[in-house]
Chains A and B, each alone.
Chain A
Amino acid sequence: MASTACFVIVSKNDIPIYEAEVGSAPKKEDLSYHHQFILHAALDVVQDLAWTTNAMFLKSVDRFNDLVVSVYVTAGHTRFMLLHDSRSEDGIKSFFQEVHELYIKIFLNPLYLPGSRITSSHFDTKVRALARKYL
């Protein structure tokens, strides 16, 4: 498992609708927002890159210092962004694919307004479990 990882789902309106610190390193308040800053900045790169490929998994698109941003873009242009320091690309890909399935389940909920925050605790637990499994 990666020592540092921050997972964020960004809606197509560029609003973060789900955030989770999934690293094994002890949490620090200032670091977590530092991670978000990096992820936020990486959106610019994703924005261009997403249209150059057919693949949903964009691999690592951006980096800052030794942290790498991997991105997975769904068909609805929702972006799963993972900030990590490990290099296991396959694990990350599987992680994204499984989270995508979870996300689709959330999306199918008629009470969920697309583009709004994901507040389901079930989703959160599942995502964290996936993170432990793959990262």
Chain B
Amino acid sequence: MEPGLSIESGSAIRVAVLPVGGPIPPPRLREYAALVARHARVDLASLRTYYAEHQKSPFQHQPWETGCLRLKFVLGGCVPSPWEDFQSSRKVLAVIGICHLPSSPDLDRVAADFIDSARSYPSALANRCFAFCPTDAQLSGKKRDDIIMLPPSDQQSLELHMLTMIQDLAASLLMEFEKWVLRAESTGTILKTPLDSQSSLGSEEVIKAKKRRLGRAQKIIGDYCLLAGSPVDANAHYTTAIELARLTGDVFWHAGALEGSVCALVVDRMGQSDPVLEDEVKYRYYTIIQLYRRATLQDNAQRVSPVSFELEAALKLARYLCRQELAKEVSDLLMGAADGAKALIDASDRLILYIEIARLFGTLGYKRKAAFFSRQVAQLYLQQDNAYAAMSAMQVLTMTTNAYHVQSRKTMKMNHDLSKEPRAGNTDSGKVHPQSIVSLFESQWSTLQMVVLREILMSSIRAADPLSSWSAAARLLRSFYPLITPAGQSGLASSLANSADKLPTGTRCADPCLPFIRLHSFPLHPSQRDIVKRNPHKKEWWTGAGPSGPFIYTPFSKAGASGTSKQEVSWIVGEPVQVMVELANPCSFDLVVESIYLSVHSGNFDAFPVSVSLPPNTSKLVLLSGIPTKVGQISIPGCIVHCFGVITEHLFKEVDCLLLGAAQGLVLSDPFRCCGSSKFKSVNFPSISVVPPLPLLVANVVGGDGSILLYEGEIRDVLITLTNAGTVPAEEANVALSGKNQDSVISIAHSTWKSALPIKPGGEVTFAVTLRAWHLSSADLETDGSRSPANSRRIAREGINPFLDIHYAGPAANLENGDVSLPPGRRLVVPLNICVVQGMRLVRARLLSMEIPARFTETHLKPVSGEDINLLKIDPYKGSWGLRLLELELFNPTDVVFDVDVAVHLDDADVDQEVISEGDAACHKTRIDRDYSARVLIPLENFKLPVLDASFFVKESSSDEPLGSRAAAIAERNAKAELNASINNLISKIKVKWHSGRNSSGELNIKDAIQAALQASIMDILLPDPLTFSFKLAKNGTVINDDSSKDFGSVLRCKDPISAHEMTHMEVQIRNNTKEIIQMNLSISCKDVAGENCFDENSATVLWAGVLSDIHLEVPPLQEVIHPFSMYFLVPGDYSLQAASVIIDATDVLRARAKAESPDEPILCRGSPFHIRVVGTA
């Protein structure tokens, strides 16, 4: 059988094209062969010049104007067929030699070589040898007849030259045909086929053959007429031959002649599509097929079977009819031909048959049928055990991949570029109808696909084509891993590795293998996140475009602003960016991805490769990074993966489709889910645009970026350095505070950084921020169970720190058209990681009452000076009856030493009351070592209010009146507020400051503690007694005036206290601290050390003059009254005087102050004891 046969092929002159001489480089050979093969059709009209009619032409009806000769060039020649005599078109009628002269300099040898090779074609009627690219020496040499040299020139003239040569060849062939026909007509020829040779023995056969000879000769002459381009002549001869063959019963030749006549008919009517002609051809060909079948049956016993002619006839008819409308008929013919394959003995015949069937089905549009027969072809090829057959098998199988939907992406790209587009749009819209998902996975005949891929793999390994085998194994593994056993998967992996070994490094393949890659997320780089679009209409551009009206939501705002699902991302030239992808290895072997990086086709991105190793059945998240290099749009369709030695591109979209199918149960398996990864979540790739460089400020807290360790209440300056790490100066900036605990930032040195603007690239500015540590809440303290610093750091939780929001922007760029474009600004958030650790702890605060009697001592008589740093100042004449001390117990749980200062700030208003009080600086420091506690005493004496006012007791009075009016309630509220204010005033006067080390200092927050301590006895502290008593020595027994305070100093200068046996003049001063007149009965008592009353009338040890008991006095409001008396001490020693008075007709205020329980109770007022030391002899 011969490939590529058609009805018209009977009219083609077979020309062998042979390379001769030295080896010809393949591209050259192809080029020369193409040059020759262009002239497959030579018009008869153009042969006139080369044609010389020697005798009368046997082709009487030759159409010189319209006809043509058809040449069929066979490169490399062919084996002579045993059926040459039967069909002249099978004969090689001419031989053309092609010679590449630079590789074969010896012309004689070329000529000899050509003659040698032409000798194997005895049927050749004309020979030509073309020599290309001759050297100058070869050209200038003796002109040879046997070699035609084509001097090097441009393509056009070379073609013209070649045309001339072919026309010459055709003309000489035509003349040879004439000669041959004339000879055959006159002498006759012996024509044999393999059928005849088998049965040449019997004499009967010989006679039969003689009879048949004439008919056969006519048939051959007809063949030659057809070859000579004269179908009309041919038809005449064929008609004779048919008649003769029918008469002689020469079935085989009858069929041959009939076939020739159809060919003549078709060639004659070339280019006309005529249903009548078609019917005629069909009818005759069915006859031909019948005749051949009969011939086959007749000669069934013989070894050589003419069954191939029957099949060829069927194929010829099928090719002739091969149109969509006649698909049924053609496919019947082809199926019939396919059935005939079993009868074919020669494997190569079967091969050709299948090839032809596949080709015809392909032409018919039956892709799957074509693929099926192609696969049969490939299997026949694979039965031959050589590399070329394997290569052919591989190529044939590759052609079938389209029909089985396992094609390489390389070919898919070419074929499906257009058809893919609408689908892509469909999946992008998010909501996909289930039906259209199904259509994504059309024709998934997985079994067949696997078989085809496996066969491709097998054949490409045999054909030593590593790239194809890699690609096939990759497709097999990627698409069908769930159907392949673990052993099979490992086998594929090793075949991938083996193929890669044979490939040069850096080979790219269109088909991705493992791993499966999907886009996981788009982690924004910190610097990216902080790009702020500038609002050109606002000075504070970072605040965003505010609503245009008074409403928060305006329906007229741009619809696209918020509703777009596709987010936009800006990347900055020169700043690294990251994309998170998820890799999955669903197979049972370790997968080593040598490198993986983002694939960007827009060419403005530098991707950084990373290498990953994936254990069996695992997935992994990988962060891929890169740097945009140019302004513009970036699209990232997938990743470039270097795995199994080959570089491939993995597209995200494909995996998304796969996962979509897996979600619907249409695909075998979801590679990510079987690796234990989370559920499928489609990630939209945002549209990425690259913007020109922006300034990039980097903040650095001087002294380390860790948290700033502060003790509670500590105040410290923190230096922050801003460095411009970008390539553009930062021209404007704004620093603001945000986050929690903003009040812990006391001040920011705005002027420092403002003066440093613009910050040039590489420039830096350092500014100070003053911080005060806040106080830990009790919850914080509880969590901070142990005191180790590691634990204390835990307190520095997220979200409790203040932030510095720094908005900054580069210069505005001037566009070409004169407009000013505002590049986006940026925000830098500097967290002030303040870690507050517990400093000194207030263990307890309590109030101590100290009752120190007034006394005369030397120390108290010292003159008062400014340098006196005694905090506790007791009026020696009044004593400290009712003095209270606030005791603070402090504990130092830290590792450092604290110095504590207690300071009491006094208002100016208090100066007249207590002159001797000093400022805080004068206080003593208390040092508390680590793990020690200390107590600090704070006297609270100086806080007494000057007046005992009724307002403080409104609460009590109102409680006495159950029917309190509204006015009372208001008064109560006012009074309460006043009281609270005075308490707060009191507390705020007390400050406990601490220092630790060189630069830690702060204030202890003891407000609450003090308040708690004072709550019970706040009245006692704040309110003065209604009456105060003080004793004084009066000089010379005269009563000192009310303004005796002026002489106060002289009294104190009395050196000698009191001597016995001497009349001592004394006076008691009674002050009314209320706003009402107080009437009272005053009595003065004197006691000795034993506590005996010295004024006892029976055994008095002290003599006295003046009234000492039941003195009725009336003290006007806020005034003092002095009652003088004299005493005469008989015995030296210590005595104490005490004044007491019973208030007559006490008011409610006084009762409340005295905490009287019943209204009848006498109100008693006592002063502090006055200590007198009496010296002398008894």
Contacts and interface: CB of A to CB of B under 8 A. Distances in A.
A33 B664 contact: no
A45 B331 contact: yes
Interface string A108-124: 00000111110000000
A2 to B, nearest CB: 20
Nearest to A48: B327
A64 B439 contact: no
Nearest to A61: B331
A64 B448 contact: no
B664 A41 contact: no
Contacts of B371: 41
A55 to B, nearest CB: 16
A33 B451 contact: yes
Nearest to B364: A44
Contact of B372 (A13, A19, A41): A41
B447 A64 contact: no
A13 B371 CA distance: 19
Interface string A1-37: 0000000000101111001000000000000110011
B430 to A, nearest CB: 19
A61 B441 CA distance: 26
Interface string A59-82: 000111100000000000000000
B361 interface: yes
B443 A65 contact: no
B328 A37 contact: no
A13 B368 CA distance: 14
Contact of A14 (B335, B339, B373, B442): B442
A102 interface: no
Nearest to B366: A44
Given A13-B439, A116-B666, A36 B342 contact: no
B445 interface: yes
Query: What size tier do the contact residues of chain A reach?
Result: 20 to 34
B327 A37 contact: no
Interface in B932-980: none
Contacts of A114: 435, 438
B370 to A, nearest CB: 8
B440 to A, nearest CB: 9
A33 B379 CA distance: 14
Contact of B435 (A15, A45, A65, A115): A115
Interface residues of B, number: 33
Nearest to B342: A65
A117 to B, nearest CB: 7
A43 B368 contact: yes
B653 interface: no
Given A15-B442, A33-B447, A40-B448, A113 B372 contact: no
Contact of A113 (B338, B438, B445): B438
Contact of B339 (A16, A48, A65, A115): A65
Interface string B401-440: 0001000000000000000000000000000001100110
Nearest to A12: B438
Nearest to A8: B445
A36 B328 contact: no
A19 to B, nearest CB: 8
B448 A37 contact: yes
A38 interface: yes
Contacts of A115: 435, 438, 666
A41 B357 CA distance: 13
Contact of A15 (B365, B375, B443): B443
A91 to B, nearest CB: 23
A48 B367 CA distance: 13
Contacts of B366: 44-45
Nearest to A49: B328
A116 B331 contact: no
A40 B400 CA distance: 12
Contact of A36 (B439, B443, B447, B666): B447
A40 B372 contact: yes
Nearest to A52: B328
Contacts of A14: 442-443
Contacts of A63: 335, 339
Contacts of A15: 438, 441-445, 666
Interface string B1072-1105: 0000000000000000000000000000000000
Contacts of B435: 114-115
Given A13-B438, A113-B664, A38 B372 contact: yes
A36 B442 contact: no
Contacts of A19: 447
- Chain A CB count within 10 A is highest, among B339, B434, B441, B447, for B447
Contact of A116 (B335, B443, B665): B665
A44 B362 CA distance: 11
A45 B665 contact: no
Contacts of A38: 372
Contacts of A33: 447-448, 451
Contacts of B441: 13, 15
Contacts of A41: 368-369, 371-373
Interface string B136-159: 000000000000000000000000
A38 B451 CA distance: 13
B666 A40 contact: no
A42 B370 CA distance: 11
A111 to B, nearest CB: 11
A21 B996 CA distance: 91
Contacts of B373: 41
A96 to B, nearest CB: 21
A40 to B, nearest CB: 6
Contacts of A65: 339, 342
Contacts of A117: 665-666
A62 B439 CA distance: 26
Contacts of A44: 361, 365-369
B170 to A, nearest CB: 42
Interface in B651-671: 664-666
A134 B368 CA distance: 29
A48 B325 CA distance: 10
A13 B442 CA distance: 5
Contacts of B404: 40
Nearest to B441: A15
Interface string B364-388: 0111110111010000000000000
A81 B451 CA distance: 20
B95 to A, nearest CB: 42
Contacts of B665: 113, 116-117
Contacts of A48: 327-328
Given A40-B448, A62-B335, A116 B664 contact: yes
Nearest to B444: A15
Contact of A37 (B335, B372, B664): B372
A17 to B, nearest CB: 10
A40 B368 contact: yes
Interface in A87-112: none
Contacts of B339: 63, 65
A43 B442 CA distance: 13
A116 B668 CA distance: 11
Nearest to A44: B366
Given A37-B375, A62-B335, A116-B666, A13 B445 contact: no
Given A13-B442, A44-B368, A36 B448 contact: yes
A13 B369 contact: no
Contacts of A37: 372, 375, 448, 451
Nearest to B373: A41
Contacts of B342: 65
**Leading 5 A-B pairs by shortest Cβ distance:** A41-B372, A44-B366, A115-B438, A14-B443, A44-B369
19 contacts: A14-B442, A15-B438, A15-B441, A15-B443, A19-B447, A36-B448, A37-B375, A40-B368, A41-B371, A41-B373, A42-B368, A45-B331, A45-B366, A49-B328, A64-B338, A64-B372, A113-B438, A116-B438, A117-B665
Given A15-B444, A15-B666, 7 more contacts: A11-B438, A13-B441, A13-B442, A14-B443, A44-B361, A45-B369, A48-B328
